[in-house]
Structure 1
Amino acid sequence: MLRQTNAASIRLVGVVGFIALFIGLALGSAAPALAQHAISPAGQIQVPMQKQELTIRGTLRDGSDPIAGVRISASAPNGFSAEATTDENGRWVIVVPGKGTYEVMLDVTTLPADKPLSEGEENPRIVEFGTSSNMGVIFKVGENTAAVGPSFGSVLAERAVAGLSFGLLLALTAVGLSLVFGTTGLTNFAHGEMVTFGAVAAFGLSAWGFPLWAALVVAVLLGGGLGWLQDWGLWKPLRHRGSALVPMMIVSIGLALAMRYVILFFFGGTTEQLPSAQSPILDVLGVSISRNTLVSLVVSLAVIVVVALLLLKTRFGKATRAVADNPALAAASGIDVDNVIRIVWVVGSMLAALGGILWAYYRPGVAFNMGQQILLMIFAGVTLGGLGTVFGALVGSVLVGLMVEISTIWLEADLKYVGALAVMILVLLFKPQGLLGRRERVG
């Protein structure tokens, strides 16, 4: 018995090491490109390639009318000084070199004669960076201060669109997690690292010289390959050994830690940007939305529709639902349960990798722990919708995304994710089966 236990332990260590090697090979392609930007010929350390930009930005309007051509400057005690001029939509952006305290001043001499700075409006304004990479500053202009600035309805519409985009992004990753839970019963804590893997792989491939579209496609395929490898080398052997769900969940926690720090070793602890991370702001039906957010919304919705059709209209979808309902009965009816679960792992991992890429554009930025940061919200969406139900994960994730973004109307931006934890606790207390889940005993 002791010999069998030792052999199983050696096999487990070998599989985790093999997965770490796979991640290293996938991420190692970024090393040459990063290295040549990291150190100058003189040996001095340089700013990493595509370093995250810190910005101070805002929109200058008199009511609903944008004001163009107004000069706004930012300065810091260390001597930094920069300025920007509002565009035709009244928007301005100043890129700053690092986090700290800045003085932002509007040049009142550049304002139109009939649009003075509102009475009592503070100018200059002191801005101090916290955890956010973008700080907003709004100057009120015009005589009628009650009408200055966007209305509550327009702010609510913008936050709702951003929340829908974020919710659909969450749904991509939550659907994969829900598929795995539905077919195997496993609560996979390493799912967040699959999100990170997709974003980091896309960054590494683009740094190596791949066109952006090719880097994104290959990163998603690599995510599917890593999902296949996990099931083949780790989860299938554990299932066949009859391992209980709690020990398997603990293994997933260990795997998450291993993957996170392998990614940290190859990628580093800095936050980097994917190509085209800074996108222009578009006006769509009177709602301001960044181009990347709009593209993320469309891509997420299209992929979710494809997955829904795959589950509802194909033999694989029927087989997946059969395995989720009763694996033994599905096997007795001729369904290859292991093959179905293997495909579920591949599809779920590809969705997580795609979600990681979209999350990198939404944040914006690629970091070694970005999957860990979003994992709580994924679990909140799955719990709210109902554990093991794919469409429940979709509904729950969209609701969590809307709540997170709309809450910023009243809460500080750094507190918006606290609501995800509150939702998960309340659902587990009062409706543990979720909105679309079945009422049953768990455990």
Structure 2
Amino acid sequence: MDVSDVITRGKVTIREQPLLAIAVLATALLALDLLARLAGIEVPLAGGRTFGGELSMGRFSGLVWNGIIVGLIFGLAGIGLSMTYSILNFANFSHGDLVTTGAFTGWGAALLVAGWGIGDIGHLLLVRPGSGASPNEIGASIVQAPLSILIGVIIAALATVVVAVIIDRIVYKPMRDRGGIPLLIASIGAALALRYILQFVYGGRNRGVTSTQDVNTEIAGFSVNMHELTLVIVAISLMLAMHFMLQRTKLGKAMRAMADNKDLALVTGIPTERVVTATWVLGGALAGVAGYLYVLERGTIEFNIGWFLLLFIFAAVILGGIGSIYGAIAGGFVIGFVHEVSLIWIPSDFNAAAAFLIMILVLLYRPQGIFGGVTTA
């Protein structure tokens, strides 16, 4: 392809897709501005504004690392949401509150194990609803009490699975043949009910749960937060396990078949009800662990954290291609990266808007999402 062909295609793109051309130009300008900031170059513009500026490599790498952390949370939680849509064909708005369920139940178990003999059992099990032993006194961290953190991960998964399956049996199963819209509305009701049950049981107070003592250590000359490192290891391990399950097991093949054609899967003898149950089990477990890991990294917990995360999880799933678990993971990384790195140019009050803007721009060019198609693989 010669230069004239490139110019001709560029003119066609600008004429037929002006928004895409503007987005590409804006991306190029931001990339140049980033390079100028890293090089310490600052060019005065009109109105007191400048092109470039000062940005240390340490701060930039920190923002990229934070983007990876946030992206892992969005991607891990988004897997279950994609599975629900591809197999049950509805958007589950209660998914965010399953994330909250895992956070509270997991941390209740972790605090109980770490603080046994230090604090009151009810105070620990209900995740410090009032005054009592402080997080540093309890010592709930991967450094001080690694067993408690591991037990918390397991309990977060198991408890969320139980809640997800109960909701399915009580609310969704009787409505399964009525279409996606009634199920979506029912999921909103289930979300509200679950959220305020959690608030009633655990209280509405925002409180700290993790110990801040000795959680940073030096690895290969870099200061590493051990809670963040734990999050990365657990999240990536679970994502790899999901990949293996979908590609190498009979259950995975059955789930992919049911996502492609539910009626044909039923005719060929696939136990569809078992596949549905497995969907809730796996999706609920991953949602619960995502909520638990989010609190591990954040250090605080409140009854509506899942609700605040839900829009980002939906954005990741839609951007990646709703119905694809690989799309959910990829979308999670994109949303997380933009959410954090955009802080170079805009205040923290607006970085969420930047993440959603990227989602809109990508979907204008590729409406089916990054991976596209309704499939669990």
1:41 is aligned to none
2:68 is aligned to 164
Distance 1:163 1:221 in 2: 28
CA pair 286-399 structure 1, distance change in 2 beyond 3 A: farther
2:359 is aligned to 424
AA at the equivalent of 1:383:
I
1:262 is aligned to 197
Q: TM-score, normalised by structure 2?
A: 0.72
Deviations 1:92-138 (A, max 9, x none): xxxxxxxxxxxxxxxxxxxxxxxxxxxxxxxxxxxxxxxxxxxxxxx
Task: Check if 1:409 corresponds to 2:344.
Answer: yes
Deviations 1:331-376 (A, max 9, x none): 1111011110110111000000000011112223110000011111
Does the residue aligned with 1:259 lie in a helix, a strand or coil? helix
Task: Check if 1:234 corresponds to 2:234.
Answer: no
AA at the equivalent of 1:165:
I
2:206 is aligned to 271
Alignment of 1:188-227 (within 5 A): 188-209=92-113, 211-227=148-164
Does the residue aligned with 1:417 lie in a helix, a strand or coil? helix
Identity %: 34
AA at the equivalent of 1:227:
A
Does the residue aligned with 1:358 lie in a helix, a strand or coil? helix
1:380 is aligned to 315
Distance 2:329 2:370 in 1: 11
1:121 is aligned to none
Distance 2:169 2:156 in 1: 20
AA at the equivalent of 2:162:
G
AA at the equivalent of 2:61:
A
AA at the equivalent of 1:407:
S
Deviations 1:261-284 (A, max 9, x none): 111111112112333356633444
CA pair 298-215 structure 1, distance change in 2 beyond 3 A: closer
Q: CA deviation at 1:228?
A: 1.7
Give the one of 54, 78, 101 matched to 1:174. 78
Distance 1:277 1:343 in 2: 37
Deviations 1:278-324 (A, max 9, x none): 66334445554422112111111111111111111111110000000
1:318 is aligned to 253
Deviations 1:159-216 (A, max 9, x none): 1122112211211100111011110111001000000001111232344446443233
Distance 1:283 1:412 in 2: 30
Unaligned stretches of 5+ residues in structure 2: 1-53, 115-147
AA at the equivalent of 1:408:
L
Does the residue aligned with 1:416 lie in a helix, a strand or coil? helix
Is the contact between residue 164 and residue 281 of structure 2 (CA under 8 Å) also seen in structure 1?
A: yes
Give the one of 276, 288, 293 matched to 2:228. 293
Is the contact between residue 259 and residue 374 of structure 2 (CA under 8 Å) also seen in structure 1?
A: no
Distance 1:334 1:432 in 2: 34
Alignment of 1:17-28 (within 5 A): none
Distance 1:252 1:345 in 2: 14
Give the one of 177, 183, 188 matched to 1:253. 188
Does the residue aligned with 2:82 lie in a helix, a strand or coil? helix
CA pair 368-213 structure 1, distance change in 2 beyond 3 A: same
Alignment of 1:355-394 (within 5 A): 355-394=290-329
CA pair 366-436 structure 1, distance change in 2 beyond 3 A: same
AA at the equivalent of 1:270:
R
Unaligned stretches of 5+ residues in structure 1: 1-149
1:184 is aligned to 88
Distance 1:175 1:278 in 2: 33
Q: CA deviation at 1:406?
A: 1.2
AA at the equivalent of 1:179:
M
Is the contact between residue 171 and residue 186 of structure 2 (CA under 8 Å) also seen in structure 1?
A: no
AA at the equivalent of 1:406:
V
Is the contact between residue 323 and residue 373 of structure 2 (CA under 8 Å) also seen in structure 1?
A: no
Structure with bigger gyration radius: 1
Distance 2:171 2:101 in 1: 18
Q: Answer with 299-308 or 162-171: which moved more.
A: 162-171
Task: Check if 1:434 corresponds to 2:369.
Answer: yes
Distance 1:215 1:395 in 2: 27
Is the contact between residue 324 and residue 374 of structure 2 (CA under 8 Å) also seen in structure 1?
A: no
Structure 1 runs of 4+ off > 6 angstroms? none
Give the one of 334, 338, 347 matched to 2:273. 338
AA at the equivalent of 1:386:
G
Distance 1:232 1:282 in 2: 46
Is the contact between residue 72 and residue 232 of structure 2 (CA under 8 Å) also seen in structure 1?
A: yes
Distance 2:181 2:213 in 1: 43
AA at the equivalent of 2:340:
E
The structure that is helix-richer by fraction is 2
Distance 2:286 2:324 in 1: 16
Task: Check if 1:303 corresponds to 2:207.
Answer: no
Is the contact between residue 215 and residue 226 of structure 2 (CA under 8 Å) also seen in structure 1?
A: yes
1:85 is aligned to none
AA at the equivalent of 2:185:
I
The structure that is strand-richer by fraction is 1
Distance 1:277 1:302 in 2: 25
Aligned residues: 289
